[in-house]
Amino acid sequence: MRNAPHRFAGCAARASAACALATACACSTRDPYDDLLWYYRPEPGSVIIPREQHGPRSLAMFHGTDGAPIDWNGLWNGVRWADIVIVGEQHDDANAHEVQQAIWSETIAAWPGSAVSLEMLERDEQPTVDAYLAGEIDAATFVERTDSRDWASKGTWDDFYQPVIDEAKAAKAAVIAANAPREYVRRARTEGYEVLEALPADERALFAIPAKDPPASYRDRFRDFMSGGGEREVDEARVDEVLRSQRMWDATMADSIVRAYERLPSHAKVVHLVGQFHSEYDGGLVSEIQARAPGAKVLTVTVQKGMARALREEDRGKADVVVYGVAPRLRWTGFQAGLKPPAEERPAEEEAPAWGFAY
């Protein structure tokens, strides 16, 4: 399906012209805002960072490299450019899930035949996913069979992920259970890849072995995570052992994404929802996609908590687009009645300077 001419022939011509103008042709399939700078990025000064930031389309957004402000239209131009869109979440952040939902909703409306891929579902659950999409089981049965109800935190599946799947169902779009089953992830850690490569074909189909070493910074970040930011000593052998599991997640998700991408019509896209550690700084997931589909155009988006008026230095380079959300959605039942929640349930003042809008 992917050997058809790309629908944006004019864009390709403009990109070629841009390369000719450069002193050293450095065209990339990774960043739309580098490839087609004058066409996709808003003009300097044309984007006003929202004073009241509420999502998902009115949040502060920035180009992840140079910090230039980007509005929803600028983000959407990146989606238009991409073949694969990766949206990195913090699993408990309601705003990140709203951004994911909005990107998926507009993608499936603009490009019918697109697919949504989820870290949260494992390959051996694909028959259950397909049964739900076909109307053979109801949502309660689907959630029960996949044991998903508390995936992000207690009772969050219905709010965070089910709407994405239901929208795909309504549009007759594919939903990809992208991840490796935990049994094989555990075995990658305890037994190594060589043992897994020797398994029968039906089991091998449930996971993928890494095809490319990730950037060295990926291990450094992973080690920092395991050490609690340097607060405790870590065994280096243990870091490598656990990293094998992480890399199997990356490889299997990348393999699932690329397989879906190669099956789709040439106009369609894959939107992948994932924990942001996998995708930030072109880490394990992105490097595995590049190894399997070097010509695919990949847009990365990451959603960070809190409000911002400029790109935070610690977020520079995390993704093509860095989005800042307001404080996590409040679950205080008196809020709709105009009551303020108890102090311990309020967001920090710098995260929510006004109480006048919904989170």
pLDDT in tens, 171-196: 999 999 999 999 999 999 999 999 99
CA 288, CA 250: separation in Å to the nearest integer? 7
Please say if the pLDDT value at position 329 is more than 50. Answer: no
pLDDT of residue 8: 34
Q: Which residue has the higher pLDDT, 156 or 2?
A: 156
Is residue 177 classed exposed, middle or buried when 0-12, 13-18 and 19+ CB atoms within 10 A define those classes?
A: buried
Sign of the Cα pseudo-torsion (78, 80, 83, 86, in order): positive
Other CB atoms within a 10 A radius of the CB of residue 15 amount to 19
CA 115, CA 256: separation in Å to the nearest integer? 11
- Flag whether 151 is in a domain: yes
- Flag whether 66 is in a domain: yes
Mind listing the pLDDT tens digit for each residue in 123-135? 999 999 999 999 9
- Flag whether 79 is in a domain: yes
Q: Which residue has the higher pLDDT, 8 or 253?
A: 253
* Domain of residue 145, residue span: 9-326
- Flag whether 22 is in a domain: yes
- Flag whether 58 is in a domain: yes
| Strand arrangement, sheet containing 115-122 | 60-63, 321-324, 298-304, 84-89, 270-275, 115-122, 174-179
pLDDT confidence bin for 327, thresholds 50/70/90: low
355 Cα distance to chain centroid: 29
* Residue 357 token pair: 């809008």
**Model's pTM, two decimal places?**
0.82
pLDDT of residue 40: 66
- Flag whether 26 is in a domain: yes
Closest CA to 253 of 303, 288, 216, 203: 288
Where residue 302 sits, what CATH number does that domain have? 3.40.50.11550
Give how many domains the chain has, as a whole number: 1
- Flag whether 152 is in a domain: yes
50 Cα distance to chain centroid: 23
CA 14, CA 19: separation in Å to the nearest integer? 9
Is residue 258 classed exposed, middle or buried when 0-12, 13-18 and 19+ CB atoms within 10 A define those classes?
A: buried
Mind listing the pLDDT tens digit for each residue in 243-284? 899 999 999 999 999 999 999 998 999 999 999 999 989 888
- Flag whether 350 is in a domain: no
